[in-house]
Amino acid sequence: MATISGPVAFIDGNPVQHVGKPVQVPPGSHVVRTGTKFVHSTSTTTVWYEVPAADFVLPTRAGFDYYVEREILDSTSQTSPVRLRAYERDSAGRVVQTFAPAESAASLRATRLTTPQ
């Protein structure tokens, strides 16, 4: 099994029961969609954001962890860009691969046809 965690709301179109909690999935290609609610806290403030959902295609492998991350690039701005990435980590916690969000529905369909060994 592989583990997917982060602000994940859907895996393969199915709702995730507890957003932010790790989810076990079988090895293979999975479409992961982020949630739209985002909370960012510092030592002095907490801000709630509403952000567009993003889709990732993660070719998961048994024994690896996958973490989806959203990062506010300028927490002092009301219109800051948000960087979205997903990471594949091996059993030692080393980042092995980084994934960008899928660019289109066509790329989601094409990538879903690929299954890792």
pLDDT at 20: 79
CA–CA dist 81, 69 (Å, integer):
14
Query: Sign (positive/negative) of CA torsion 4, 108, 49, 75?
Result: positive
pLDDT in tens, 10-37: 999 999 988 878 999 999 999 999 988 8
Number of domains in the chain: 1
**In the predicted model, what is the mean pLDDT of residues 71-98?**
84
Residue 117 lies in a domain: no
Q: What is the pLDDT of residue 73?
A: 75
Q: Is 50 inside any structural domain?
A: yes
Whether the model clears a pTM of 0.75, i.e. scores above it, the answer is yes
pLDDT confidence of residue 106 = 57
10 found inside a domain: yes
Q: Which residue stretches of 1-117 are H helix? A: 105-112
Task: Give residue 37's pLDDT.
Answer: 83
Domain extent, residue 59, equals 2-112
